[in-house]
Amino acid sequence: MSVLVGRQAPDFTATAVVKGEFKENFKLSDYRGKYVLLFFYPLDFTFVCPTELHAFQEQLDTFRKMDCEVIGCSIDSHFSHHAWLSTPKAKGGIEGVTYPLVSDINKTIARDYDVLISTSGIALRGAFLIDKTGIVRHQTVNDLPLGRNVDEFVRLLEALQFTESHGEVCPANWKKGAEGMKTTQKGLHAYFAHG
């Protein structure tokens, strides 16, 4: 498993479904200057996947208020994405999801992010938080049956933005509104003195 944290996020050009339309030449690098949460999921028309895609949609306004775009990706075709987007939620579909869904039909994107399961040809549940300069700042990879907690990605983005604006680090279990910590012995002592 490759660790991409601290490295440039692998760029890609692919076809995506964006607001119900096919967009050829969809590029990750077009989002430079914004934060990006890029997540991979195994397959359209499956079981855990629609719960995750709807959960990301429910938090989409929160991400966008923090200048972060959400992008989903699987090895399905853009035609499959479009069909799933046209299927009502009550029937297992993702109707109402509005962020881009990228088609990785050639499996090159999943391979570049090292989430491709070579034996089955599908992606693990990888998620990558990318900063405004295109650097991966966080990554997690879940096995297929383990759904993600989208609220944790919101917290991680808040923590990243806090460290960027305050020059302090975020200690364990940090939440928005909590104090950060200076990276000195004095800062550590001050942090524990308040706890």
**Using CA atoms, how far apart are residues 130 and 133, in angstroms rounded to an integer?**
8
- CA gyration radius, the chain: 18
Mean pLDDT rounded to a whole number for the chain? 96
Q: List where CATH 3.40.30.10 sits in the chain.
A: 13-148
Residues across the chain? 195
| SS3 of 114-133 | CCEECCCCEECEEEEEECCC
Q: Per-residue pLDDT tens for 27-67? A: 999 999 999 999 999 999 999 999 999 999 999 999 999 99
Q: pLDDT-derived band of residue 194, with 50, 70 and 90 as boundaries?
A: confident
Q: Per-residue pLDDT tens for 99-138? A: 999 999 999 999 999 999 999 999 999 999 999 999 999 9
Q: Per-residue pLDDT tens for 47-58? A: 999 999 999 999
**Using CA atoms, how far apart are residues 96 and 85, in angstroms rounded to an integer?**
7
101 strand-pairing partners: 17, 72
Quickly name the fold that domain 13-148 has.
Glutaredoxin (3.40.30)
**Using CA atoms, how far apart are residues 183 and 186, in angstroms rounded to an integer?**
8
- As annotated, the active-site residues are 49
Q: Answer whether 195's CB lies under 8 Å from 187's CB.
A: no
Q: How many helices (H) and strands (E) does the chain have?
A: 6, 9
